[in-house]
Structure 1
């Protein structure tokens, strides 16, 4: 599986297909027993999450878990970034405004909604100026109105040149976002194509869409 620079790719498949495991391997939370992982032309197989983050790979998780006792703003101070205090403060405030969190900047993170927690997690990832962002189910548990905002945010981030790989069970989100879709089943890539091509493929219907 490949994600090209600036591309926005969807990764779908039934539960247990290996989607989140793939993200864990790419971001160093799991070590592969075979195969290679390359990024920007270099072999990064087996590197730890901190090394991969410094290379420009960022990720979010299925369940966002910010530091609940800290404010939204204070959570943004957690990433280790090479900025001075003034530049860091400016970047934090810019990201919070772009991701519609500026009005809750002083709220404790355990007081904001589930969708806002996902946006906060994404904002923290963006503090590191990643070249590749891996999103694990950004729509899960998010109300429809906020989901529309998240979709537009993902499009805007991608339009700025950041490559994005999205795992998502909501096919309307995949259809809206992704130029190319990869389908996994039992740890294997069984199909790659446009959403329309994937939707009409018999292997995908059998494995993921229930033959409909």
Structure 2
């Protein structure tokens, strides 16, 4: 299986606070990986370094064997790395269809209209196509945000807390749509998540962060049952280990 993304010895500090300490991770194509950890553990810092919003103090980030450290977020997006944020980044007064058309045009799609039509189908957004983005339910706003990030040129999709703000009875349905769309598009997915039920159900691999380092990396049932992960990430709840 080919490697799509590789981080080698990433270190990042903010004054006296170290957000990443010699982080090295490799991600294979077509995998679904969840990054877990308490607030401030280093998960979002890792995403920000991969997408060019932060420059590591040391280390390399290779995307399809190209070092992308020093490139701008726009340049990295053009290479095929898509990202959604915890708070949906939408054009609030534009319709769902207009939002998608704008995103595909910015991403450089060969045929933005056809790409928009495909996205409406993949993300089950056709019934909302004419609705104003700012008036959508939160779950649909999340779907639109991911759909905009996952342009027709994307190869790697990074999701920052995709179920944040989504009601408990919607979160699994939303993730089913997102992961189904990612599989259809043939992209690798890395998602940050605090909901361990979502992690256990959708991730094929889990990477646990703690104080800027990695304390667990492997299959969900293995990592979620590790003593340090239970202590520092999900508390002393041992139900996942028992499962």
TM-score of the pair, normalised by structure 1: 0.93
2:176 is matched with 152
Q: For residues 100 and 216 of structure 2, what CA distance do their matches in structure 1 show?
A: 38
Alpha-carbon shift at residue 143 of structure 1 (Å): 2.3
Q: Matches of 1:135 and 1:81 in 2, distance apart? A: 18
Counterpart pick for 1:173 among 174, 198, 211:
198
Partner residue of 2:187?
A: 162
Q: Greater shift after overlay, 145-154 or 26-35?
A: 145-154
C-alpha RMSD over aligned residues: 1.5
The answer as to 2:200 corresponding to 1:195 is no
Q: Does 1:82 align with 2:111?
A: no
Whether 2:65 is the aligned partner of 1:61: answer no
Distance 1:16 1:82, change over 3 A: closer
Structure with larger RCO (C-alpha < 8 A, sep 6+): 1
- Aligned residue pairs total 210
The Cα shift of 1:72 comes to 1.1
The C-alpha deviation readout for 1:134-157, integer Å capped at 9, x for no partner, is 001111111244323322223323
Greater CA drift, 141-150 or 60-69: 141-150
Structure 1 residue ranges (4+ consecutive) displaced by more than 6 angstroms after TM superposition: none
- Measured in 2, the distance between the counterparts of 1:129 and 1:15 equals 31
Distance 2:107 2:65 in 1: 24
| Residue from 113, 116, 138 that aligns with 1:114 | 138
1:49 maps to which residue? Answer: 73
Asked if 1:204 is matched to 2:229, the reply is yes
